[in-house]
Amino acid sequence: MPMSASPPAPARALVRLLVAASLAAPVATFAQPAMPIADMHLHYSHDAVASVPADDVIGLMRQAGLRRALVSSSDDAGTQKLLELAPDIVVPSLRPYRSRGEIGTWFRDPTVIDYLEQRLARHRYAAIGEFHLYGADADLPVPAAMVALARRKDLILHAHSDADAVKRLFRQWPEARIVWAHAGFDSPENVREMLRAHPKLWADLAFRSDHASGERIDPGWREAFLEFPERFMVGTDTFTPERLFYIPQHAAWARSWLATLPAEVAERIAWRNAESLLAAAWPAGGSAPAAGNPEPPSCAQAGNGVRSLQGKAARLVYRTEPAEIALGEPFRLLARLCPGAEARAGVRTKAGADSGAGARLSVDATMPEHRHGMNYTPRLAQSPDGLVADGLLFHMAGRWQLVVEAREGDAVERFADDIVIR
């Protein structure tokens, strides 16, 4: 079907009726605001664009109480339309499809890579996908080139794949963050095994009804949700235009079966997991990081949000933006290396303005009790004044250990600070 084709008049009329009926449907009581939902699996592809106005789609998303929506479309124009109308909700993902028909052919079509490169040069995205990829096809040159592109841009992968293809993607890019669409349509036992093996694998529950019928959750899935409360997310999967009208109903259904889980687990699956995963890749509203010229604190500064950490040969001062680090919210770290109490050989305290040499600072954070780190690699910028690190995010409550490392040649000094996130 040519991409510009309009749907026949009766289809248009039906769509209009559905919009009217859906928008007129009674909404949940206002007494208590409904739990927000992050819908991790929406498409607004060319046939949907031709039959359902973008304003109406946004209306459905707001009616559903969506806090976030990961949207990908064949082609990308639909996603960009929705993003323009609702940058507060829509998080864009780039599909390797220009039209619906490419689902079964894209992984052998090298022109797909040209298309992805063109789009990536023009727009910002949080993810690549949803793409369909099974078994050994994951190692074909086109998917491998797509993974390399995602890696270069540090984008999440949204894979409609079997377990075998997911494993192959992780072999190509071990640090990848993969959202496993439809949890692979696999059994809860197999999904748990995959989540155990891959700490950076998440699963969306889109378009599968085996995990809950009505409000009742399948016992096998309940165990999976309780073992991995941080890794499941919900999604509608609007793979046909008609399913756009199901977004509010899907959100309501998700709230009803999630209500049978402990409140904290329900909130995570409903939206917090998506929020943590997407926040660093797509800061609130897609806006650029805070403006201004960020400067590390001076060596003389103390208090007022500036922390000082004494090392063996040097001292580190740092502050964060915002000063108070919040759960699931990205933050920036600004650090400077200062002369230590005793002057000795080792890490020099200032980048030599003449030679251009000096200590390089880097930062990482882990949760010692949970033996895991952050989901994101922070973006580091060095200057003669020190380090500016963007995109740090603590996705779990508890004790985090922040470690700034100063390295010059073989000399290394580590500065650690404990931060408790509630």
Q: Report, in Å, the least distance between residue 130 CB and Zn ion.
A: 5
Residues within the interface to Zn ion (CB under 5 A): 160, 181
| Residue whose CB is less far from Zn ion, 38 or 181 | 181
Q: What are phi and psi of 69, to 5 degrees?
A: -145, 125
Q: CB of 316 within 8 A of CB of 406?
A: yes
Q: Report, in Å, the least distance between residue 165 CB and Zn ion.
A: 13
| Residue whose CB is less far from Zn ion, 129 or 386 | 129
Nearest residue to Zn ion, by Cβ distance, number only: 160
Q: How far, in Å, are 90, 110, 123, 202, 318 from residue 159 at the CA level?
A: 19, 19, 21, 10, 39
Q: Report, in Å, the least distance between residue 41 CB and Zn ion.
A: 7
Q: Which residues contact 17 (CB under 8 A, 6 or more apart)?
A: none
Q: Report, in Å, the least distance between residue 71 CB and Zn ion.
A: 13
| Residue whose CB is less far from Zn ion, 43 or 67 | 43
Q: Which residues contact 405 (CB under 8 A, 6 or more apart)?
A: 361, 362, 363, 364, 412, 413, 414, 415
- Sign of the torsion angle spanned by Cα atoms 194, 224, 64, 35: negative
**Strands 314-321, 307-310: pairing kind:** antiparallel
d(CA 196, CA 76): 34
| Residue whose CB is less far from Zn ion, 102 or 329 | 102
Q: Report, in Å, the least distance between residue 202 CB and Zn ion.
A: 15
Q: CB of 266 within 8 A of CB of 217?
A: no
Q: Report, in Å, the least distance between residue 236 CB and Zn ion.
A: 11
160-189 burial code (b ≥16 CB/10 A, e <16): bbbbebbbbbbebbeebbbbbbbbbebebe
| Residue whose CB is less far from Zn ion, 127 or 389 | 127
Q: Report, in Å, the least distance between residue 158 CB and Zn ion.
A: 9
| Residue whose CB is less far from Zn ion, 97 or 376 | 97
| Residue whose CB is less far from Zn ion, 55 or 210 | 210
Q: Which residues contact 11 (CB under 8 A, 6 or more apart)?
A: 51
